[in-house]
Amino acid sequence: MKRIARFFWLASVAVLPLVGCYDETSAISTDVSSLDLRMGYQLVGTSKGTTVKGYLHGPGADPRLVEGDRLELRTPIGVVPLAVIDGEFSLELPPAGGDYELALVRAPGRGGDLSQKYFLAPPFAVRAPVTASRAAALTVDWDPAPGPHRTQLTVRGPCVALVTRDLAGDVGSYRFNPYELSSSAVAPGSCTVTIGITKGALLAGGYAVATQSASTTLEMTP
């Protein structure tokens, strides 16, 4: 009788250290299904280089890639392994256009590989006269490239309101008609304006995921 009572007393004491509650999703990638992962990235290219920023999130804590799981970026100039820190990654690459693919390569039995592929337009240059009058026609030229990207032209400066033109294709040239810019004047006199071209892929909602940009400046007179 005393032994039995002692047994239950010891069992009760043994339970006490187990008190302390948690319910957490594992952060080890082997414990995370591909179907529960979310990943994405953004490419921002210029003539100086390409900036890559992205994320890899799990259902709970951000997963730590182990045991055959790896994240890599397949670029036109080679495959770059990515280090994920706190669910995010970023890196700088030399300027290059073409197909980029973010790939999560997984060992068998973890839900399969994941990938996202974007096209980045090649680097280019924008050309415009050194000076231009708002009252006269202005032609802007740039290097066109084939591809599925959209092309957007912007003009901004202290003496003109932001002018945006979404172009039907990457045609390599745009002509502002006389007074097309003067109607956007917000201040008298001359100023330095920046003319920019952005070629990019847009997701739903207008979020740019792969943009190649170039710009030039000119002195704009009344």
Partner 1 sequence: MRPFFFGAALAAMLLACSSSASANPLGTGWHTWDEVRFGLRGETYAGTRREGAGSVARLRLGGADFELVARRFFAGPIGVSFALAFLPPFDAFDGISYLRGDLSLDAGLFRWNGKVPGAFIVGAGFGGDLGRYSFAGRFYPRLEARLRLRPSEHVGLFVATDVMPAALGPDDRVVQVRTELGFSWRLLIVSLRVGHAIMTGGNPERTYVQQELGLYAGVGLM
Q: Check binding of 8 to partner 1 (CB under 8 A).
A: yes
- The CB-of-12 to partner 1 minimum distance in angstroms stands at 6
Rounded to the nearest whole angstrom, what is the least distance from the CB of residue 7 to partner 1 in the complex? 8
Q: How far is the CB of 71 from partner 1 (least distance, A)?
A: 17
Under the binding rule (CB under 8 A), the answer on residue 15 touching partner 1 is: yes
174: tokens are: 């745009």
25 is an interface residue for partner 1 by CB under 8 A: yes
Q: What are residue 211's DSSP bridge partners?
A: 44, 200
Amino acid identity, position 181: L
- Between residues 95 and 111, which has the closer beta carbon with respect to partner 1? 111
Q: C-beta of 28: minimal distance to partner 1 in Å?
A: 8
> Nearest Cα to 114, choosing from 194, 175, 54, 193?
54
Residue closest to 169 by CA, chosen among 193, 154, 187, 152 = 152
Q: Which residues in 164-183 contact partner 1 (CB under 8 A)?
A: none
Q: b vs e for 45-71, b when ≥16 Cβ sit within 10 Å of the residue's Cβ?
A: beeeebebebbbbbeeebbbbeeebbb
We find the least distance from the C-beta atom of residue 13 to partner 1, in angstroms, to be 11
Binding of residue 77 to partner 1 (CB under 8 A): no
Query: Scanning residues 100 to 139, which ones bind partner 1 (CB under 8 A)?
Result: 109-111
CA separation for the pair 105, 71 (Å, rounded)? 6
* Binder of partner 1 out of 40, 49, 60, 144 (CB under 8 A): 60
DSSP state of 123: P
Locate all alpha helices (DSSP H) within 115-215, ordered by sequence: none
- The verdict on 13 binding partner 1 (CB under 8 A) reads no
Partnered with residue 139 across adjacent β-strands are: 175
One residue of 2, 6, 20, 127 binding partner 1 per CB under 8 A: 20
Tokens of 85: 């820190």
Give the interface size with partner 1 as a residue count (CB under 8 A): 26
Binding region for partner 1 (CB under 8 A)? 1, 4, 8, 11-12, 15, 18-26, 31-33, 35-36, 58-60, 109-111
